Amino acid sequence: MSSAASEFSEQTTAAIARARRHSVGDLLHRTAARYPDRLAVVDSDTRWTFAEFDAAVNRCAAALTDRGLVKGDRLALLSHNCRQFGVLAFATARLGVVLVPVNFMLGPEEIAYILDHSRAAAFVVEDALAETAEKALGHSSAPVRVRGRIGLSGVSAGGDWADVAEWIDGAGNPGEPDVHVGDDDPLRLMYTSGTESRPKGVMLSSRSLITQYLSCIVDGGMTDDDVELHSLPMYHCAQLDCFFSVDVYLGATSIIVPAPDPATLLATIAREKVTKLFCPPTVWISLLRHPDFDSTDLSSLRKGYYGAAAMPVEVLHELSRRLPDVRLWNFYGQTEMSPLATILRPDEQLERAGSAGRASLNVETRVVDDAGVELPPGEVGEIVHRSPHAALGYYDDEEKTAAAFAGGWFHSGDLGVMTPDGYLSVVDRKKDMIKTGGENVASREVEEALYLLDGVAEVAVFGVVHPHWIEAVTAVVVPKQGVTLTEEQVHAHARERLAGYKRPKYVVFTDALPKNPSGKILKRALRDAHADIAAERG
């Protein structure tokens, strides 16, 4: 049988493609048709039904079209979490405009690099970040012709910025834009915050994202009656695409707050009867340590998710004791996987504590050697994936894309080990493996051992340059509130549980660990801060 393209006329082929369309931009419209009056979004005093959310997206898409944006243009978005972020995510998707979420912690020159590299045609910013945005534009040569201001704090943006409220909050509904968006047309350009000097632009399509949504729904136990609290940054694909966009797809309710402040999270769970919450381990720990935790009504909470790092086993046990009715899932992946790759399910949490679980619904995962050959169970190698979740590649970077997809698998850069029945344990990032005295030390193994010391709230382990050992294992420890720990206590504890070469050579105490807005511990910042510790302590 010949291909469909030769079976039918060009006009008929185009009509079939339109009838079969299933892009990210379609999802909200279809949910609004099913559940027009269901509560979709809560953001401060604003409460939108799905019909109202859908109409706001159409108005915004029309406004962007009126300002000259067309399919393939890039729109950079610099903002904390808000309903406007969600509107822009779906409005750009309906137009085939590529959304470029920008980390609001970046400085002007870092933002300018993203604007330039993405060749952004539009730049939308939260009013409180407008000064930083103006400085970024001063460093940039990007062809920005559309500027929008999201009014959250009342701070004057200055300059030539349109009010995004006028794009979103007007009357009427102009209907969906008449733009064909294909399965593999790029819709997102997500800039990674990896170990390299410049971030890479990861291109994601509807096929990448929607197949990932399905994996989240099926393996993550997600349903249309969920009430979810979104507090981690929506510029990161974990909050935006494992959770917020999935809720829109299903018809679940999204409660949006600007940041993962523990007091705000606890109060919001109680007030809105939240059933579902995603936090990295660092935020779950901050909730457990908050003085209001035990006095807050958290009885509505039924589903908990974590990612970005492994949950310390002792914290996992504490969560099971203090939130016995909450089922937990561990999501492991990265931006290039849209981002989900593997899942550890609720009934596996304690039995396989520390595991990243098994490949999710639409993913195949292996552990391979440097030549790309699959390793037998129990051997450490690089984690690779094959899946429609995978990105289209790195924008404007053929060399890095070819390396990442060598052999027809996406190479994660993570080191892992597989059990005979397919459960994955992530050992470390390739670049985070500590090489000391000719031996490899996985920082996570040392961290897990130190978390067993009573009085340790958080710990980060990394390597620093050492004249004799090449790298020395170093631990930065945050004691629990009101607890005093000594270096000798930590060293004595390590001697009981770790081989000599794995024990920390240096121990540092601090009040808090540096983290990005997603809650991931910034080990690079710790390495820089303690780079001279070997010279100082000997």
**What average pLDDT does the structure give for the chain?**
92
Classify burial at 295, counting beta carbons within 10 Å of its beta carbon; exposed 0-12, middle 13-18, buried 19 or more. Answer: exposed
Share of the chain above pLDDT 90, in %: 79
SS3 label, residue 294: coil
**E strand intervals along 106-220:** 122-126, 146-150, 162-163, 186-191, 201-205
According to the model, what pLDDT value does residue 193 have? 60
The band of 282, judged by pLDDT with boundaries at 50, 70 and 90, is confident
| Tokens read off for 311 | 């949950």
Are residues 403 and 468 both part of a single domain? Answer: no
Q: Give, as one character, the DSSP assignment of residue 155.
A: -
| Tokens read off for 107 | 């400085």
Model-level pTM greater than 0.75?
Answer: yes
C-alpha closest to that of 427 among 438, 439, 441 = 441
- Overall number of domains in the chain: 3
pLDDT at 21 over 70: yes
Are residues 423 and 320 both part of a single domain? Answer: yes
Are residues 352 and 481 both part of a single domain? Answer: no
Are residues 348 and 245 both part of a single domain? Answer: yes
Q: What is the CATH number of the domain that holds 532?
A: 3.30.300.30
Tens-place pLDDT, residues 104-134? 888 888 899 999 999 999 999 999 999 999 9
Q: Work out the average pLDDT over 411-432.
A: 87
Q: How many residues in the chain?
A: 538
SS3 label, residue 50: helix
Q: Phi and psi at residue 137, in whole multiples of 5°?
A: -65, -30
Are residues 300 and 227 both part of a single domain? Answer: yes
According to the model, what pLDDT value does residue 520 have? 77
Tens-place pLDDT, residues 457-502? 999 999 998 877 778 999 999 999 999 999 999 999 999 888 788 8
Tens-place pLDDT, residues 297-329? 999 999 999 987 778 888 899 999 999 999 999
According to the model, what pLDDT value does residue 201 have? 96
> Does residue 128 lie within any of the structural domains?
yes
Classify burial at 236, counting beta carbons within 10 Å of its beta carbon; exposed 0-12, middle 13-18, buried 19 or more. Answer: buried
Residue 222 C-alpha from the chain's centroid: 18
Q: What is the CATH number of the domain that holds 163?
A: 3.40.50.980
According to the model, what pLDDT value does residue 470 have? 73
- List the single range of 63-67, 333-337, 382-386, 512-516 with lowest mean pLDDT: 512-516
Tens-place pLDDT, residues 341-356? 999 999 999 999 889 9
The last residue of one of the domains, among 430, 465, 499, is 430
Contact status, residue 381 vs residue 198, Cβ threshold 8 Å? no
Contacts of 494 (CB under 8 A, 6+ apart): 446, 449, 450, 502, 503, 504
According to the model, what pLDDT value does residue 196 have? 45
C-alpha closest to that of 276 among 304, 295, 297 = 304
Are residues 215 and 241 both part of a single domain? Answer: yes
- List the single range of 34-48, 208-222, 280-294 with lowest mean pLDDT: 280-294
The b-or-e profile of 377-392 (16+ CB within 10 A means b, else e) is: eeebbbbbbbbbbbbb
Are residues 282 and 416 both part of a single domain? Answer: yes
The last residue of one of the domains, among 372, 399, 430, is 430
Q: What is the dihedral of CA 242, 248, 250, 251, to 10 degrees?
A: 140
> Does residue 17 lie within any of the structural domains?
no
Q: Work out the average pLDDT over 511-525.
A: 83
Q: What is the CATH number of the domain that holds 214?
A: 3.40.50.12780
CA separation for the pair 43, 209 (Å, rounded): 24
Tens-place pLDDT, residues 75-87? 999 999 999 999 9
According to the model, what pLDDT value does residue 395 have? 97
Q: Work out the average pLDDT over 224-231.
A: 98
The band of 212, judged by pLDDT with boundaries at 50, 70 and 90, is very high
SS3 label, residue 445: helix
**Tally of CA atoms within 13 A in the half-sphere of 262 that contains its CB:** 17
Are residues 154 and 271 both part of a single domain? Answer: no
As beta bridge partners, residue 124 has: 77, 148
Tens-place pLDDT, residues 133-157? 999 999 999 999 999 999 998 766 5
Are residues 482 and 445 both part of a single domain? Answer: yes
Contact status, residue 84 vs residue 65, Cβ threshold 8 Å? no
Q: How far apart are the first and last CA of the chain?
A: 75
pLDDT at 441 over 90: no
> Does residue 5 lie within any of the structural domains?
no
Encode 375-424 in three state secondary structure.
Answer: CCCCCCEEEEEECCCCCCEECCCHHHHHHHCHHHCEEEEEEEEECCCCCE
Strands of the sheet containing 253-256, edge to edge, are: 46-49, 39-43, 253-256, 227-230, 276-278, 303-306, 327-333, 340-344, 358-359
State the residue range of the domain holding 63. Answer: 23-30+49-181
With vertex at residue 360, the alpha carbon angle to CA 33 and CA 216, rounded to the nearest 5 degrees, is 30
C-alpha closest to that of 178 among 21, 286, 321 = 21
Are residues 163 and 58 both part of a single domain? Answer: yes
Angle between helices 313-322 and 443-451 (to 10 degrees): 50
Contact status, residue 410 vs residue 385, Cβ threshold 8 Å? yes
CA separation for the pair 490, 504 (Å, rounded): 9
Encode 318-382 in three state secondary structure.
Answer: HHHHHCCCCEEEEEEECHHHCCEEEEECHHHCCCCCCCCEEECCCCEEEEECCCCCECCCCCCEE
Are residues 412 and 461 both part of a single domain? Answer: no
The last residue of one of the domains, among 385, 400, 430, is 430
**Tally of CA atoms within 13 A in the half-sphere of 51 that contains its CB:** 7
Q: Work out the average pLDDT over 218-246.
A: 97
According to the model, what pLDDT value does residue 158 have? 62
> Does residue 289 lie within any of the structural domains?
yes
pLDDT at 1 over 70: no
- Whether residue 199 is preceded by a cis peptide bond, meaning omega within 30 degrees of 0, is no
Are residues 215 and 83 both part of a single domain? Answer: no
Q: Work out the average pLDDT over 54-62.
A: 98
Share of the chain above pLDDT 70, in %: 95
The band of 195, judged by pLDDT with boundaries at 50, 70 and 90, is very low
